[in-house]
């Protein structure tokens, strides 16, 4: 009995010592926290940011994703219910989707969103990914060829990022195999964001907000001795981009069996699009409107520019001279100008290219192995119009993510160059005569599309 009392007594003492130690640890943590808080307060003032809460990462998946028991987001779409047999449903429209990227945590997706919009990722803090992949321009820009930090035009046009989760080859010449690999292109290209690995890492690690956010998004990597790595930057950017899903357009509702989702004219357009005369759907296969392949189709270069050999360089294969990846046509009305070169400002001109005859733009003396589905369809003007009308039904921007009001660097989210381009574009548009029947028709369609939502 005595022994037991002594034991309890000793145990009590032990608890006392422990709680004192605990108090010491907790208070020192609190103190450290206070110091961190103070320093970030100063930083906040310097950057004119007061809402530190803005940088707390979400614990919810984006709409259309479900949170699994493992705490990651899985995409849910109606297409996943179709068995992958082709040519089922309304003329082959109910087919399953190819494998895609998902399985990121809500915090990783959200961190990627901040990084994507933060000009701090560029060498001089002047442009972000979003400068060339603007949400309101179909995650592209309105330039024939994008402009990077030097103010010079880069070699090609910015492709859309919608449904990039389903893409397995990146860039027009398919030189990157993953989104993680792709992201390093613009970040470290002297003509694009012009950064270096060392400088980017230094920028992020010296920003206490980013350090805290990376800890939240990648807790497993922040064990003692480990810290923020560039690989986490690429993963977060990938997580964000893989959340840009556009599969709920009026076309999709039609494909899922709701016939009234499209007008008779639009259905007629779909039928021309997938006919064996036009053959568009051979390469721009539903539901993604790409087959994720490359093809030589012989589009023209911008005036005065020499031939872009495309995937010939990637694979060192002369038969791929002038081959480019087949781009998705989702949200296509939003992402003008078109083609790798941005040669076509207008969607109808891009569609008409296919009707102008096989090899119509191949430079003299060039040998190009044009794809066998590039034919001489001889479509009427009305049929071309119908295709353009149909392409307008592929618009769905319902999952457009929120543009952050502020980014952890404190830099302006919508950078000056973006504003400048936008202003220029607006004044150009004001100057443009709006006399063509097509323009009026198109804007009319857009209006009716919204009212049908």
The span from the CA of 323 to the CA of 339, in Å, is 12
Is residue 237 within the footprint of ligand HEC (CB under 6 A)?
yes
Please state the closest distance from residue 211 (CB atom) to ligand HEC, in A: 19
Is residue 204 within the footprint of ligand HEC (CB under 6 A)?
no
Please state the closest distance from residue 119 (CB atom) to ligand HEC, in A: 9
Is residue 248 within the footprint of ligand HEC (CB under 6 A)?
no
Cβ atoms of 49 and 410 closer than 8 Å: yes
Strand partners, 6: none
Is omega for the bond preceding 282 within 30 degrees of 0, making it cis? no
As a 3-state breakdown, the chain gives helix, strand, coil percent values, each rounded to 5, of 45, 5, 50
DSSP string, 96-153: PPPP----B-HHHHHHHHHHHH-GGGSTTS---HHHHSBGGGTTB-SSSS-B-TTSSB
Sole window of 77-85, 213-221, 263-271, 366-374 interacting with ligand HEC (rule: CB under 6 A): 366-374
Sole window of 12-20, 187-195, 360-368, 392-400 interacting with ligand HEC (rule: CB under 6 A): 187-195
Cβ atoms of 314 and 174 closer than 8 Å: yes
Cβ atoms of 256 and 96 closer than 8 Å: no
Is residue 326 within the footprint of ligand HEC (CB under 6 A)?
yes
Is residue 108 within the footprint of ligand HEC (CB under 6 A)?
no
The span from the CA of 415 to the CA of 141, in Å, is 14
Binding mask 414-453 for ligand HEC (x = CB under 6 A): ----------------------------------------
Q: Which C-beta is closer to ligand HEC: that of 210 or that of 338?
A: 338
Q: Which C-beta is closer to ligand HEC: that of 121 or that of 261?
A: 121
Binding mask 285-304 for ligand HEC (x = CB under 6 A): ----------x-x-x-----
Sole window of 62-70, 277-285, 361-369, 392-400 interacting with ligand HEC (rule: CB under 6 A): 277-285
Considering only CA atoms, which of 113, 318, 108 is closest in space to residue 216?
108
Count the Cβ atoms, other than its own, within 10 Å of residue 32. 10
Considering only CA atoms, which of 181, 70, 193 is closest in space to residue 121?
193
Count the Cβ atoms, other than its own, within 10 Å of residue 112. 26
Q: State the DSSP H helix or E strand holding residue 313, giving kind and residue range, or none if neither.
A: helix 311-315
Among 72, 120, 283, 411, binds ligand HEC (CB under 6 A): 283
Among 279, 321, 348, 442, binds ligand HEC (CB under 6 A): 279
Is residue 171 within the footprint of ligand HEC (CB under 6 A)?
yes
Among 182, 331, 395, 445, binds ligand HEC (CB under 6 A): 182
Considering only CA atoms, which of 429, 446, 432, 425 is closest in space to residue 142?
425
Contact set for ligand HEC, span 133-162 (CB under 6 A)? 133, 146, 148, 154-159, 161
Q: Which C-beta is closer to ligand HEC: that of 55 or that of 162?
A: 162
251 is written with which tokens?
A: 């076309």
Please state the closest distance from residue 52 (CB atom) to ligand HEC, in A: 25
Is residue 242 within the footprint of ligand HEC (CB under 6 A)?
no
Residues in the chain: 453
Provide the binding-site residues for ligand HEC, judged by CB under 6 A: 121, 127, 129, 131-133, 146, 148, 154-159, 161, 164, 167, 170-172, 179, 182-183, 186-187, 192-193, 237, 241, 278-280, 282-284, 295, 297, 299, 324, 326-327, 329, 332, 335, 338-340, 350-351, 354, 371, 373-374, 387
């Amino acid at each position: 009995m005595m022994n037991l009392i002594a034991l309890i007594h000793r145990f009590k003492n032990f608890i006392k010592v422990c709680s004192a130690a605990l108090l010491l640890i907790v208070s020192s943590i609190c103190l450290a926290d206070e110091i961190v808080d103070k320093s970030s307060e100063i930083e906040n003032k310097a950057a004119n940011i007061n809402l530190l809460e803005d940088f707390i990462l979400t614990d919810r998946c984006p709409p259309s994703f479900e949170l699994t028991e493992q705490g990651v987001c899985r995409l849910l779409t109606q297409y996943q219910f179709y068995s992958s047999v082709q040519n089922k449903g309304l003329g082959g429209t109910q087919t399953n989707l190819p494998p895609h990227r998902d399985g990121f945590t809500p915090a990783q997706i959200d961190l990627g969103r901040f990084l994507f919009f933060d000009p701090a990722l560029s060498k001089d803090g002047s442009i972000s990914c979003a400068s060339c992949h603007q949400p309101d321009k179909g995650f592209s820009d309105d330039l024939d060829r994008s402009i990077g930090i030097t103010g010079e035009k880069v070699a090609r046009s910015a492709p859309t990022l919608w449904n990039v989760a389903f893409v397995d080859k990146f860039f027009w010449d398919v030189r990157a195999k993953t989104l993680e690999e792709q992201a390093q292109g613009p970040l470290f290209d002297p003509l694009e964001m012009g950064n270096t690995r060392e400088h980017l890492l230094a920028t992020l690690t010296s920003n206490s907000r980013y350090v805290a956010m990376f800890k939240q998004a990648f807790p497993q990597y922040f064990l003692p001795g480990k810290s923020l790595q560039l690989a986490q930057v690429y993963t977060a950017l990938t997580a964000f981009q893989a959340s840009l899903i556009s599969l709920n357009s009026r076309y999709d509702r039609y494909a899922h069996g709701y016939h009234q989702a499209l007008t008779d004219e639009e259905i007629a357009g779909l039928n021309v699009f997938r006919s064996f005369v036009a053959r568009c759907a051979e390469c721009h296969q539903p539901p993604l409107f790409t087959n994720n392949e490359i093809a030589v189709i012989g589009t023209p270069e911008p005036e005065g520019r020499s031939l872009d050999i495309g995937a010939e360089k990637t694979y060192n294969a002369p038969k791929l001279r002038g081959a480019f990846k087949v781009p998705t046509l989702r949200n296509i009305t939003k992402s003008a100008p078109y083609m790798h070169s941005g040669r076509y400002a207008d969607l109808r001109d891009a569609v008409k290219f296919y009707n102008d005859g096989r090899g119509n733009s191949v430079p003299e003396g060039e040998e190009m192995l044009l794809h066998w589905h590039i034919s001489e369809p001889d479509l009427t003007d009305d049929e071309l119009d119908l295709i353009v009308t149909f392409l307008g039904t592929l618009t769905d921007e319902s999952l457009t993510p929120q543009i952050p009001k502020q980014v952890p660097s404190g830099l302006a989210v919508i950078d000056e160059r973006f504003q400048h381009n936008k202003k220029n574009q607006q004044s150009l548009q004001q100057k443009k005569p709006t006399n063509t029947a097509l323009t009026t028709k198109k804007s009319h369609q857009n209006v009716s599309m919204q009212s049908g939502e």
